[in-house]
Amino acid sequence: MGDPCRLSVHLKEGVEASQRVRSSGRTGAGILTSFSTCDVMKSGSGRPCSSISRVDLRDYPSLGNLFMNPKQIIQAFVDAINSQDWIKLDSLVAPDFVRHSIAAGEPPVRSRTDLVSFFRREYQTFPDAQEIVLDIFSEGEKIAVRHHFRGVQHGAMGSYPPSRKTLNTEYIAIYRVRNGQILEVWAEWDNFAGLRQLGHL
């Protein structure tokens, strides 16, 4: 395995050309799972490298994100939520992540840790919750997504007791992604429509 310090230097030179590294390291899904530090150094600087170290990106989860486009980052984020894979989510979300949302109310989400806590509480309320991406558009660092959420309310939701009814709803989110991580999101949804579906209004 490549030394992390040397790897970071090579990535600094080669990240802008990450999509051009040789195709032999690509999976059928088109996501790079491994590369040699020599490949990255050459692709980034055009200079020959003095050593070759094979790096498995699965050993550096957040580095692997550098080889994904913003839409892939968001899909991976949704997949991590659906599987409750908080370790994977950690690699996709910046530590100082911020969620901007009027609909969400309190407590605010001002870090990656806050976000994971929010999802853990959500799964206590909707243990079978699943999300899918209906539409996704990107421009620069911004990715606009129309999500669909489905889950049965088996737990309390604030002052509202379990209803055993299904919530089927959509919400809009605009993410900002840089260097393979989600930095912030603006997300809004219709709370009143959801409460009506669950029988609370």
The mean-pLDDT minimum among 54-63, 129-138, 173-182 falls in 54-63
Average pLDDT, the chain: 80
Torsion of CA 69, 70, 75, 77, to 10 degrees: 120
Q: Residue 41 and residue 179: Cα distance in Å, rounded?
A: 18
Q: Which of 84, 70, 171 is CA-nearest to residue 119? A: 84
Helix (H) or strand (E) holding 55: strand 54-56
Distance of alpha carbon 107 from alpha carbon 22, whole angstroms: 46
Residue that wins the pLDDT comparison between 113 and 34:
113
Do the beta carbons of residue 141 and residue 177 sit within 8 Å?
yes
The per-residue pLDDT for range 4-61, each reduced to its tens digit, is: 444 443 444 444 334 444 333 443 334 444 444 454 444 445 555 555 555 555 555 5
Instruction: Sketch out the chain's domains with CATH numbers.
Output: 4-66 (no CATH), 68-197 (3.10.450.50)
Per DSSP, the three-state class of 39 is helix
pTM above 0.95, yes or no: no
- Both tokens of 66, joined, read 């550098």
Largest Cα span, the chain: 68
pLDDT digits (tens, 9 = 90+) for 137-177: 999 999 999 999 999 999 999 999 999 999 999 999 999 99
67 pLDDT band, cuts 50/70/90, is confident
d(CA 148, CA 169) in angstroms, rounded, equals 6
